[in-house]
Structure 1
Amino acid sequence: MWATDHHHDRYGIMLPVGAGVAVACLVWIVTVLVGAGYIAGMTWMPWVLPMALGVATAVVLPLVLGRRRGKHDVAALTDILRRS
């Protein structure tokens, strides 16, 4: 995925992975604390839901953050160039 993402220089290579893992861990903790793993018919939830949300976070975060960071970098560079 890193080689196909042409904007990875804006947010780094580990941010999407780290955010996906953090979201997956938090969702797993919440589903286990709620007790979804012990309810009949819902034992899949603490395993599948964190994986799905972690992957979704790792895909969506670069799309949102890359655009914002790119606009911010261009604005900051323009401001620096105008001052000189």
Structure 2
Amino acid sequence: MLSLTIVVLAAVAAGFIVWANDRRHAKYGAALPAGVAVVAGALTWIILMAAGFGYRPGLTWLPWVLPIVLGAAAAVAAVLYLGRSRARQDTQRLTAILRR
């Protein structure tokens, strides 16, 4: 369980770093990328541990590193998608309001 705790904490940190580095981070909350990173990282860790990769010699690093990397990648993907779509939707709503 210690490895899951470390994976979750590292994924939260990666999610907050992704949020802080996004120029459109005012369009969504700070917890969104962190939450996406935690969910992706924890699910990856659970799958890898259930598959038995946690206790194989030479593959012990896999449930430690891969969930953190996939969590950060999922946070980046969520931020890219949501940042663009929210900016586009906000522009459309503002345009509709100004045309009235």
Q: TM-score range by the shorter chain?
A: 0.7 to 0.9
In structure 2, runs of 5+ residues without a counterpart are 1-16
2:59 to 20, 36, 42: 42
SS of residue in 1 equivalent to 2:60: coil
Percent of residue pairs identical: 46
Per the normalisation by structure 1, the TM-score is: 0.81
Q: Deviations over 1:38-73 (max 9, x none)?
A: 333222111111011112222332122101111111
1:56 to 62, 73, 79: 73
Give the total of aligned pairs.
82
Task: Compute the RMSD of aligned alpha carbons.
Answer: 1.7
- Partner residue of 1:13? 30
Per the normalisation by structure 2, the TM-score is: 0.70
- Partner residue of 1:33? 50
CA radius of gyration, larger in:
1
